[in-house]
């Protein structure tokens, strides 16, 4: 119920406008967002690198309303890739296709992402294409598959709550496309996704095993300690070296757990978002974990 409410609020334009212009709200958002500028994101990335943590930088923004906006998003990402390379930061970038114009022109969106994939290949870097709602799944996997064949510098995200995900993981593994496995953060119809957490968790573990067995440097993205322990146990049972996969988490969530994984010798990458359009991302983080809501309320009452 709380999750549905927060996801509904994440789509309210007037509330978003107020939040993104509120000094108090922006300050509270720094728990999960590096800041509004690339320089702030780079500074945070350097700090995380010194702790042995790699990063994935994401310039916040989702559906654009014009192809000019999509081109602007592409250019921000090109500058981000160049800055990562020039700074020697251990990191890559992650993007959403709706931000690159998929809802306006699939051809233009593909061209925008390809520009980024070409540059990433030149730098020996990598572009992760995030997964959005199930309405985008086929188009996203199709684009990733095509650009990976051309440039080899593109990876996908698979959501464990979708029924179709096992077949998608098998196909991506066969093509040696890198996969980030997550549970999924969108409200989906029962016809497309497992309705219960128990079933999502079960499927997540099955997909994790498949990726560790057959995947190309898979990313196990979760803050759920049960999923993390299951991954560690399965990797140990298969004698999978710890440098053959990585855990991924969101910046600002479960810092204690992050430190513990690094201390145990596992690879860790944090998803570090930056930019002015932070409100939808922020609300989804609230929806995922009630403790995040309580943190915000406590800080609001201190004002």
- Catalytic residue positions, numbered: 130, 180
**Euclidean distance between CA atoms 33 and 35, whole angstroms:** 5
Contact criterion met (CB below 8 Å) for 185 and 288: yes
**Euclidean distance between CA atoms 129 and 120, whole angstroms:** 13
Residues in the chain, overall count: 303
Dihedral sign (CA 120, 68, 141, 185): positive
Write down the residue that tokens 């310039």 correspond to: 59
SS3 of the chain: CHHHHHHHHCCCHHHHHHHHHCHHHHHHHCCCCCCCCHHHHHHHHHHHHHCCCEEEEEECCCCCCCHHHHHHHHHHHHHHHHHHHHHCCCEEEEECHHHHCCCCCHHHHHHHHHHHHHHHHHHCCCEEECCCCHHHHHHHHHHHHHHHHHHCCEEEEEECCECCHHHHHHHHHHCCCCEEEECCCCCCCCCCECCCHHHHHHHHHHHHHHHHHHCCCCEEECCCHHHHHHHHHHHHHCCCCHHHCEEEEECCCCHHHHHHHHHCCCCEEEEEEECCCCHHHHHHHHHHCHHHHHHHHHHHHHC
Backbone angles phi, psi at 50, to 5 degrees: -65, -20
């Amino acid at each position: 119920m709380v999750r549905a409410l927060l996801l509904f609020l994440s789509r309210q334009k007037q509330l978003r406008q107020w939040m993104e212009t509120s000094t108090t709200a922006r300050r509270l958002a720094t728990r999960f967002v590096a800041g509004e500028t690339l320089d702030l994101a780079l500074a945070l990335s350097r700090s995380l690198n010194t702790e042995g943590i790699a990063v994935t930088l994401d310039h916040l923004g989702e559906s654009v309303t014009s192809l000019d906006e999509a081109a602007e998003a592409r250019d921000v990402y090109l500058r981000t890739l160049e800055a990562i390379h020039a700074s020697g930061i251990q990191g890559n970038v992650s993007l959403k296709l709706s931000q690159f114009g998929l809802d306006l022109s699939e051809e233009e969106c593909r061209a925008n992402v390809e520009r980024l994939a070409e540059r990433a290949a030149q730098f020996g870097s990598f572009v992760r294409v995030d997964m959005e709602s199930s309405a985008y799944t086929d188009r996203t996997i199709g684009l990733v598959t095509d650009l990976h064949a051309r440039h080899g510098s593109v990876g996908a995200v698979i959501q464990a709550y979708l029924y179709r995900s096992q077949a998608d993981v098998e196909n991506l593994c066969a093509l040696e496309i890198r996969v980030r496995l997550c549970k999924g953060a969108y409200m989906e119809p029962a016809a497309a996704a497992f309705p219960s957490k128990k079933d999502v968790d079960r499927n997540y573990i099955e997909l994790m095993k498949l990726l560790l067995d057959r995947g190309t440097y898979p990313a196990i993205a979760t803050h759920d300690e049960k999923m993390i322990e299951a991954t560690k146990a399965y990797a140990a049972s298969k004698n999978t070296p710890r440098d053959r996969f990585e855990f991924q988490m969101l910046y600002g969530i479960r810092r204690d757990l992050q430190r513990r994984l690094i201390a145990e010798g596992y690879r860790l990458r944090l998803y570090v978002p930056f930019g002015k359009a932070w409100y939808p991302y922020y609300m989804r983080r609230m929806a995922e974990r009630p403790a995040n809501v309580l943190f915000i309320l406590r800080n609001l009452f201190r004002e």
